[in-house]
Amino acid sequence: MRTTNERLNELQARISDNQFLTKQGLGNEVSFYIFDYNPADELMVRSRLPEIERYTANKLDTPIKEFNIFDIATRFFEERQYMEKNYQMEQVKDSFTLYDRMQRALKTATERDEVIKYIREHYEDNAITFITGVGSAYPLVRAHTVLNNLQPIIVQKPLILFYPGVYEGNKLSLFNQFKDDNYYRAFRIVEP
């Protein structure tokens, strides 16, 4: 089994290949990929992504647009000045009530999902899309929901979701222990 660093090197080479950018060999499938990795390597993955982004932009003149779903959700609450209210609610009620209220405010898994709305408004047709922050946003925002809702939006260039866990046989297991709903349309971009 290869290390996460070795797999990140292969990822960098793969996305810098023009064949990858033109989606050759996928047939009519969506060009959605998952880079799954050991959750213990989260900080390494985070530190390597800017390097991969620079390398790809320089080699192919193709930018990478990163969307950190945890940052998007946090920004949503900060812009509406909900953060202090959220802290207070958790102290008075409990974490489950707060989670429920936050999920309703974000409208996750609905037609008006705020995370998806943000990505739709900032998406760039000519860029490879990176989705990060999956582990930090759990359970508020779920990976399979994000991927399902982005299918009609991200169609020009590939999307890569960075997943701290296992994606195997179309099954998602966050942190190698929380089973998420299955997602059948993505490909593992680099084998372990």
Distance between CA atoms of 140 and 73, rounded to whole angstroms? Answer: 9
Q: Which domain holds residue 62?
A: 4-188
At residue 108, the pLDDT reads: 84
Q: Which residue has the tokens 């760039």?
A: 124
Q: Which residue has the tokens 């990505």?
A: 119
Residues 46-89: pLDDT tens digits?
999 999 999 988 888 889 999 999 999 999 999 998 888 888 88
Alpha helices by DSSP H, listed for the chain, are: 4-15, 18-21, 42-60, 69-79, 83-92, 95-106, 114-122, 134-137, 143-150
At residue 28, the pLDDT reads: 57
pTM of full prediction above 0.85: yes
The number of folded domains in the chain is: 1
SS3 9: helix
The parts of the chain modelled with pLDDT lower than 50 are none
Judge contact between 18 and 60, C-beta under 8 A: yes
Judge contact between 174 and 138, C-beta under 8 A: yes
At residue 186, the pLDDT reads: 87
Q: Which residue has the tokens 């070795």?
A: 6
Cα–Cα nearest to 172, from 151, 149, 150, 146: 146
Judge contact between 145 and 80, C-beta under 8 A: no
At residue 169, the pLDDT reads: 78
